Amino acid sequence: MYRASYRPQEVNHCPSCGNSQWMIGRMTAECAFCATALPLVAGGNFGNNVLRKRPLRALAA
C-alpha cells in the first residue's frame, strides 16, 4: 500500500498538482500552490520538548 508523505532532504512533488514548493509545519507539509497537506515522514520526532524527563520523585513513588 502506498501512502504519500513528505520526506525531508528529498525532492518532493505534490501528488495533486506536481509542484515542489512546500510550507513545512510540525506535523505536515502543505503545497504552496494547491494547499494539499502531507504528513511528515519524521512524524513530529523533532523540535522542542520532544523528550520530556519525568521528575525523580514520580519514579520513586
**What residues make up the domain containing 5?**
1-47
- Specify the residue for cell string 498538482: 17
Q: pLDDT tens digits, residue range 6-43?
A: 998 899 999 999 999 999 999 999 999 999 999 998 64
For residue 4, give the C-alpha cell: 504519500
DSSP-H helix ranges across 1-61: 56-60
Number of domain units in the chain? 1
Q: What is the pTM of this model?
A: 0.63
CA-nearest of 32, 29, 33, 34 to 4 is 29
Domain-located, residue 35: yes
Domain-located, residue 61: no
Domain-located, residue 40: yes
Q: How far apart are CA 13 and CA 45, in angstroms?
A: 23
Domain-located, residue 34: yes
Domain-located, residue 30: yes
Domain-located, residue 11: yes
Domain-located, residue 59: no
